[in-house]
């Protein structure tokens, strides 16, 4: 497979008469873009905003982030989700870089939603404060979800994907200026020099714990809860095969933007042929019952061994119950003779006294921490709030609360907030973005 991602860097976003990309400026026809959003009759209210790094703007509840793209030659950007099934990871895809489409609820949030500050102290906690963002703030008639802590957010998430495809299409007739090339030879067709290097497989564990459909990450539109570990070409992940779900405490989740730009995949590509032989991706899952967890771990270890992996990197989307899948996978790989490193965040509780991973094993002795979901963050008021600030405390966001006997409510009368890192949108950057470092005491 050979994937060419043609990059069109966005220096600025503005509204105008025609949606087009010219000399680094993305101009968006707001009414056309909103018409794309309203193709779903469940959307009852919708507005678009532009936010940029340094703006004194707070966004909450943030539900999704997507990079605008266009598949050259036709076909959906997200196969099996926004259109028919086509092969991802092969051919040419255009990407609008240095920006994202953010989807924000106008009112109702949930356990899996988060917060982004574009400026001030809070900006350092999330990648998306560094991007130019077209923000869709919308509401739906899915009233059955209003009082539910878990929300599927289907209408809003799909509206974001349609909007990203609409924006990406403005590049379809533009000539390439900058192209990233991703190509791996078939495993059995690699030359002797490559085969002498240490071989590495990347094991991804996307969120898939919800047994009811509609909450989990999707693989070509297939709910990952119904998936057994599957060998995938890394290009498929970078090219729209994987879609973010609507379940997971927000600092731990992988947005669709994260899948499209998965840093760990890109880093392994950079080292391929130099220091290592990148075999590909085993897409596993996170399960509910113990036997399901054990079964997946056995599949992953067998698959890694069968393709000749000397080593593996296991990356977990989530914490808590998924830690059992995470450590089981590491242990199974190590027992199969595959040297393994894990990548996850941790949950120590606000007092720091809880076990950081629910499941521990002395064999899992090489784990990289991306941060503590329980860390308390205090942020001052922002001039502008897009969405509804009260949702942080009212709607069960994983890092917010309506009241605490010591800390009081998450949202203070003056608009300042206190919350757990849990609620920072994709804040722990477990996909490989993390700028956090460890301290020794």
Q: Where are the domains of the chain?
A: 2-423
Structure confidence by residue, pLDDT tens digits, 103-161: 999 999 999 999 999 999 999 999 999 999 999 999 999 887 777 888 899 999 999 99
Query: Exposed, middle or buried by CB within 10 Å (0-12, 13-18, 19+), for 209?
Result: buried
Q: pTM for this structure?
A: 0.96
Structure confidence by residue, pLDDT tens digits, 28-86: 999 999 999 999 999 999 999 999 999 999 999 999 999 999 999 999 999 999 999 99
Structure confidence by residue, pLDDT tens digits, 200-225: 999 999 999 999 999 999 999 999 99
Tokens (6 digits) for 82:
């926004």
The CA distance from 403 to 219, in Å, is 38
DSSP 3-state of 48? strand
For the chain, the average pLDDT equals: 95
The CA distance from 264 to 283, in Å, is 14
Q: What per-residue confidence (pLDDT) applies to 196?
A: 97
Does position 366 have pLDDT exceeding 80, yes or no? yes
278 compared with 348, residue with greater pLDDT: 278
Q: What per-residue confidence (pLDDT) applies to 281?
A: 98
Q: What per-residue confidence (pLDDT) applies to 393?
A: 92
Cβ neighbors of 53 (< 8 A, separation 6 or more) are: 118, 119, 123, 129, 130, 131, 132
The residue-averaged pLDDT of 184-204 equals 97
Does position 437 have pLDDT exceeding 80, yes or no? no
Cβ neighbors of 177 (< 8 A, separation 6 or more) are: 6, 7, 8
Q: What per-residue confidence (pLDDT) applies to 440?
A: 73
The residue-averaged pLDDT of 297-313 equals 98
Task: Determine which of 111-120, 332-341, 369-378 has the lowest per-residue pLDDT on average.
Answer: 369-378
């Amino acid at each position: 497979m050979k994937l060419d991602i043609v990059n069109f860097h966005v220096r600025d976003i503005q509204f105008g008469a025609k949606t087009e990309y010219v000399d680094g400026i993305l101009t968006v026809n707001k009414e056309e873009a909103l018409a794309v959003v309203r193709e779903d009759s469940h959307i009852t209210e919708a507005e678009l905003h532009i936010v940029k790094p340094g703006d004194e703007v707070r966004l909450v509840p943030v539900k999704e982030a997507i990079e605008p793209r266009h598949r050259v030659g036709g076909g959906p950007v997200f196969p099996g989700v926004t259109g028919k099934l086509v092969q991802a990871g092969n051919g040419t895809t255009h990407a609008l870089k240095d920006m994202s489409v953010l989807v924000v609820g106008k009112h109702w949030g949930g356990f899996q939603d988060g917060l982004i500050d574009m400026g001030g102290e809070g900006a350092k906690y999330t990648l998306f404060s560094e991007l130019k963002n077209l923000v869709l703030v919308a509401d739906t008639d899915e009233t059955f979800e209003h009082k539910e802590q878990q929300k599927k957010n289907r209408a809003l998430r799909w509206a974001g994907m349609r909007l990203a495809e609409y924006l990406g299409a403005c590049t379809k007739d533009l000539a390439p200026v900058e192209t990233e090339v991703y190509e791996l030879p078939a495993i059995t067709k690699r030359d002797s020099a490559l085969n002498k290097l240490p071989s590495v497989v990347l094991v991804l564990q996307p969120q898939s714990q919800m047994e009811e459909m509609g909450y989990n990450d999707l693989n070509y539109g297939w709910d990952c809860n119904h998936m057994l570990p599957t060998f995938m070409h890394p290009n498929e992940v970078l090219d729209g095969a994987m879609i973010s779900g609507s379940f997971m405490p927000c600092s731990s989740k992988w947005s669709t933007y994260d899948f499209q730009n998965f840093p760990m995949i890109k880093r392994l590509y950079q080292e391929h042929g130099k220091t290592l032989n990148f075999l590909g991706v085993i897409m596993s899952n996170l399960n509910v019952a113990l036997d399901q967890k054990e079964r997946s771990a056995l599949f992953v270890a067998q698959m890694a061994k069968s393709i000749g992996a000397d080593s593996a990197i296991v990356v977990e989307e989530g914490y808590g119950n998924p830690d059992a899948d995470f450590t089981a996978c590491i242990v199974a790989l190590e027992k199969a003779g595959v040297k393994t490193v894990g990548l996850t965040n941790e949950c120590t509780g606000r007092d720091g006294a809880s076990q950081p991973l629910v499941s521990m094993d002395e064999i899992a002795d090489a784990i990289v921490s991306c941060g503590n979901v329980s860390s308390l963050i205090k942020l001052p008021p922002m001039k502008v709030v897009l969405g509804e600030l009260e949702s942080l405390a009212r709607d069960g966001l994983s890092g917010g609360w309506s009241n605490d006997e010591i800390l009081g409510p998450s949202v203070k009368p003056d608009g300042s907030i206190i919350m757990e890192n849990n609620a920072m949108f994709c804040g722990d950057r477990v996909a490989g973005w993390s700028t956090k470092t460890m301290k020794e005491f």
